[in-house]
Structure 1
Amino acid sequence: MKFTESLALQGLSASIGSVGDAYDNALAESIIGLFKTEVVNRHGPFKTLTEVEFALMEWADWYNNARLHSRLDYLTPAEYEAAYYSQQSPRRPALV
């Protein structure tokens, strides 16, 4: 019920299924599945929660900054972002 109310307050509806269904977490579920496949299944089993947390931090850093991405012309996300911002004209500071 809270989920439905939150969507309604924002003027949104569920992207799949009937309005109010909890199907909008598909992206989160696919990232979790990717993490499980790439880290947990390949490098597990982990003995402590701390080992899992460190593995998650290392993977998230690699995934967000260092992986080569085909949709970015095989640049890393960090390289692509740096190239994008280097092509932008400098912004003038706002007047106070």
Structure 2
Amino acid sequence: MGRVASSVDNALIESFWSTMQPELLDRTNWDPRAQLASAMFEGIEGFYNPRRRHSSLDYLSPADYEALHATVEIAA
């Protein structure tokens, strides 16, 4: 990842948008752009990042996964 036009970067963002579209964007008609930006921020930082379970993290939320690994690193 990190190179311009990398297929890995494209797959990552396509996966993100395929989740964002039905869960947030398609549910409301967004009039002002600021309202949409605020809703996207809340959707990402309020649900997607801290609470949504991810298959790549053994079906843990990112917050739970980080807490599990932070505990292991402190104990080690």
Same structural fold, with TM-score higher than 0.5 when normalized by the shorter chain? yes
| Distance in 1 (alpha carbons) for counterparts of 2:68 and 2:9 | 32
**Count of residues in Structure 1 that have an aligned counterpart in Structure 2:** 73
Matching residue of 1:76? 61
Q: CA shift at 1:30, angstroms?
A: 2.4
Mapping for residues 37-56 of structure 1, pairs under 5 Å: 37-42=22-27, 44-56=28-40
Counterpart in 1 of 2:73? 88
What fraction of aligned residue pairs are identical, expressed as a percent? 36
* Aligned partner (choices 14, 29, 42) of residue 58 of structure 1: 42
Runs of 4+ deviating beyond 6 Å: none
Alpha-carbon offset, residue 75 of structure 1: 3.0
- Rounded to whole Å, the distance in 1 between the matches of 2:14 and 2:53 is 22
- CA separation in 2, counterparts of 1:27 and 1:73? 18
Q: Which runs of 5+ in 2 are unaligned?
A: none
Structure of greater Rg? 1
RMSD: 2.8
Residues 26 and 58 (structure 1), Cα distance of their counterparts in 2 relative to 1, 3 Å cut: same
1:25 aligned residue = 10
**Post-superposition shift, 1:67?**
1.4
